């Protein structure tokens, strides 16, 4: 007689060591472009109902009298942050009075140039372009109308 022994050998449970190799650091040399969705969603929605008006900007705000704007020069309207110029007689222009360098308000117009007092930038009265730096971008134009002696924002 013999006692049988069964040696139950548990099947080797392989301890699977999962090598998580998913987080590979890159070299950092792949800058992702910031998402700039180009294009507008085109969803034709039949909007028959005029749902409210948007009185956003006071169109037609009077800026100055045309006679106040010297030919070849201009006037700075600090409150409205607009500079109105008259490069040639009867030809009026308007630009943002906020300097494109660091945001000072331009202070004066003379010799055909709009002057920023902060760092000395100068912009041409005809088109707002930079005549003297450090600013590198022109003054943004503003839309105006001249009726009679009144210069107004559009």
Site residues (vs ligand FES, CB under 6 A): 99, 101-104, 116, 118-121, 134-135
Quote the CA–CA distance of 109 and 98 in Å, as a whole number: 14
In the complex, minimum distance from the CB of residue 132 to ligand FES, in angstroms, rounded to a whole number? 9
Minimum Å gap between C-beta 99 and ligand FES is 3
The rounded distance, in Å, linking the Cα atoms of 36 and 38 is 6
Cβ-based nearer residue to ligand FES, 114 or 146: 114
**How would you list the strands of the sheet with 82-88, edge to edge?**
74-77, 82-88, 91-96
Rounded least distance, CB 32 to ligand FES, Å: 33
If DSSP codes are grouped into helix, strand and coil, which group holds residue 104? coil
| Secondary structure of residue 34 in the 3-state scheme | coil
* C-beta closer to ligand FES: residue 102 or 147: 102
The nearer residue to ligand FES, 91 or 119, going by C-beta atoms, is 119
Task: Tell me which residue has tokens 């070299």.
Answer: 27
């Amino acid at each position: 007689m013999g006692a049988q022994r069964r040696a139950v050998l548990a099947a080797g449970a392989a301890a699977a060591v999962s090598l998580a190799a998913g987080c590979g650091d890159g070299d950092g040399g792949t800058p992702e472009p910031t998402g700039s969705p180009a294009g507008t969603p085109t969803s034709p929605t039949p909007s028959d109902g005029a749902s409210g008006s948007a009185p956003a900007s006071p169109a037609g705000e009077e800026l100055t009298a045309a006679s106040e704007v010297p030919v070849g020069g201009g006037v700075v309207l600090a409150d409205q942050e607009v500079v109105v110029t008259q490069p040639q007689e009867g030809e009026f222009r308007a630009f943002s009075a906020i300097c494109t360098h660091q945001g000072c308000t331009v202070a004066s117009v003379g010799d055909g140039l709009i002057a920023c007092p902060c760092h000395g930038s100068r912009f041409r009265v005809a088109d707002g372009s930079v005549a003297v730096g450090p600013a590198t971008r022109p003054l943004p134009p503003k839309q105006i109308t001249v009726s009679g002696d009144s210069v107004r924002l559009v």
